[in-house]
């Protein structure tokens, strides 16, 4: 049994999700404003990234509500569907946008001279439709009948000789049926299909594309090093330190990618494994504090990936940095003027 009751679990969710949600929301707004203010960034690749930022912003807004989905509540059928379908849709759309951004950048690196001829660039509206409409369609399947919801009236019997005790039992079962739970909205097959058919393939595709990009970068680095060695031999010079610097940069890049994967993906993978284990064994993990902590940190850490990609590019943050610098200079200038006036007086 979990030592925390329902109010304590709600407080735990609040204290875990609110800092992560605030960071995700303000950071995404910071990058979105930077892209909107810089006209040089108004192109197709950045439109894909902007779509990812919008999806990540929505994920940050709904982050405090996602762990609450594991807690049972007294809601009717319509409100219960909205409570579970809407956050699930935003999370799947974020995942699809993340795959699309990695795929677009993968094409730019694999085929730098012909990447503009691929369907992603030629059919940009279709690509955006793919990352938003299928998640909405799949997340809405419980609203079209694929759910375990039991209507309260289905337990009522038409027998005219029912006793008072049996009617009391029927009323109690009605109250239990009105409890909104993820088990009533999402069947096991739905969760298995989402985890094994959508989430895991998306993660594996991102890992595969990232590994392919690193392999291509390694091959290019080896070719550059060969050219440097040939030039050094012709000039009868000793090998320069430039090759070592390139190898060091590549090593730092690999370390950064590995660290990002460990920090952002491993908690979410553990969260998914715990979810599947809970379904297979029937253990009440969704009500435990450990499951709540893993769900908050797992989803929150994965939502930080776009922020790492955006904040690492100075073009996205340069407009806001200039604006903040101007405001700081004006504030300092006004403060200096006040000090001069006070000295004169």
Residue 240: the pLDDT is 59
Helix (H) / strand (E) element for 239: namely none
DSSP-derived 3-state class of residue 112: coil
Q: How far is CA 191 from CA 132, 147, 169, 288, in A?
A: 19, 11, 32, 19
Residue 82: the pLDDT is 85
CA–chain centroid gap for 34, Å, is 20
Mean pLDDT in each 10-residue stretch from start to end of the chain (345 residues)? 64 81 86 82 84 88 77 78 87 89 84 76 86 93 84 46 40 51 82 86 87 83 74 60 66 70 75 71 61 75 78 72 77 67 62
Q: How far is CA 119 from CA 48, 114, 115, 173, in A?
A: 13, 11, 9, 54
**Residue 108 buriedness (CB in 10 A; 0-12 / 13-18 / 19+):** middle
Those residues with Cβ within 8 angstroms of residue 161's Cβ, 6 or more apart along the chain or in another chain = none
DSSP-derived 3-state class of residue 179: strand
C-alpha dihedral sign at 27, 30, 31, 36: positive
Residue 135: the pLDDT is 93
Residue 141: the pLDDT is 92
Tell me which residue of 127, 121, 179, 175 sits closest to 148, measured CA to CA. 179
Residue 244: the pLDDT is 67
Residue 163: the pLDDT is 39
């Amino acid at each position: 049994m979990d030592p925390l009751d329902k109010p304590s679990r709600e407080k735990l969710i609040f204290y875990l999700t609110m800092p992560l949600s605030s960071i995700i929301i303000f950071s995404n707004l910071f990058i979105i404003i930077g892209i909107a203010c810089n006209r040089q960034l108004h192109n197709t690749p950045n439109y894909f990234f902007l779509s990812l930022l919008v999806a990540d912003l929505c994920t940050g807004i709904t982050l405090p509500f996602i762990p609450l989905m594991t807690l049972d509540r007294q809601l009717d059928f319509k409100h219960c569907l909205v409570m579970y379908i809407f956050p699930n849709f935003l999370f799947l759309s974020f995942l699809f946008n993340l795959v699309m951004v990695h795929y677009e950048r993968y094409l730019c690196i694999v085929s730098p001279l012909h990447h503009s001829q691929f369907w992603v660039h030629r059919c940009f509206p279709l690509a955006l439709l793919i990352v938003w409409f299928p998640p909405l369609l799949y997340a809405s399947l419980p609203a079209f009948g694929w759910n375990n919801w039991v209507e309260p009236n289905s337990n009522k019997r038409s027998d005219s000789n029912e006793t008072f005790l049996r009617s009391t039992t029927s009323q109690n079962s009605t109250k239990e049926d009105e409890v909104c739970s993820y088990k009533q909205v999402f069947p096991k097959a739905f969760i298995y299909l989402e985890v094994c058919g959508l989430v895991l393939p998306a993660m594996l595709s991102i890992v595969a594309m990232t590994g392919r990009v690193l392999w291509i970068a390694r091959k290019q680095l080896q070719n550059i090093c060969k050219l440097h060695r040939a030039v050094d031999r012709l000039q009868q010079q000793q090998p320069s330190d430039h090759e070592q610097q390139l190898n060091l940069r590549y090593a730092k890049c690999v370390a950064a990618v590995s660290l990002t994967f460990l920090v952002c993906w491993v908690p979410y993978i553990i969260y998914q494994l715990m979810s599947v284990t809970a379904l297979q064994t029937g253990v009440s993990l969704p009500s435990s504090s450990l499951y709540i902590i893993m769900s908050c940190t797992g989803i929150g850490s994965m939502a930080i990936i776009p922020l790492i990609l955006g904040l690492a590019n100075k073009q996205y943050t340069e407009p806001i940095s200039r604006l903040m610098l101007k405001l700081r200079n004006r504030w300092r200038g006004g403060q200096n003027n006040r000090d001069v006036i006070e000295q004169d007086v």
